[in-house]
Amino acid sequence: MLNPSRLRLLSRLAVLGTVRAVAQDVNLSASTVSHQLALLETETRTRLLERTGRRVRLTPAGEKLARQARAILDHLDAVEAELRGDEPAGLVRIGAFQSAIHTFAVPAATRLAQTYPRLETELAEREPHESVPALRAGDSDVIITTTDFADLPLGPDLEIIRLATDPIVLVTAVDRPEPPGPAVLADYAGEPWALDIPQSYMANLTLRLCRESGFEPRVVCRFSNYLMTLQHVEAGLSIALLPELAVDPRYRVATKTLATPVTRTIVAVTRRGSPRRAAVNAVLEALRQPVKLPAAVEQA
166-264 and 88-163+266-288 share a CATH fold: yes
CATH of domain 166-264: 3.40.190.10
**Fold entry, domain 88-163+266-288:** D-Maltodextrin-Binding Protein; domain 2 (3.40.190)
Which one-letter amino acid corresponds to residue 71? A
Residue 300 pLDDT: 46
Q: What is the mean pLDDT of each run of 10 residues along the chain (300 residues)?
A: 86 85 87 91 90 82 84 72 70 89 90 89 87 84 82 76 92 89 94 92 92 96 93 96 91 94 92 79 89 53
**Alpha-carbon distance 57 to 50, whole Å?**
6
Residue 82 pLDDT: 63
Residue 90 pLDDT: 79
Residue 294 pLDDT: 47
Q: Residue 94: helix, strand or coil by DSSP?
A: strand
**Alpha-carbon distance 9 to 20, whole Å?**
12
**Alpha-carbon distance 298 to 172, whole Å?**
10
Domain spans of the chain, in order of start: 4-83, 88-163+266-288, 166-264
Residue 291 pLDDT: 60
In our burial notation (b when 16+ CB lie closer than 10 A, e otherwise), range 99-132 reads bbbbbbbbbbbebbeeebeebebebbebbbbbbb
Q: Return the HEC string of 5-23.
A: HHHHHHHHHHHHCCHHHHH
- The correct answer on CATH 3.10.180.10 for the domain covering 4-83 is no
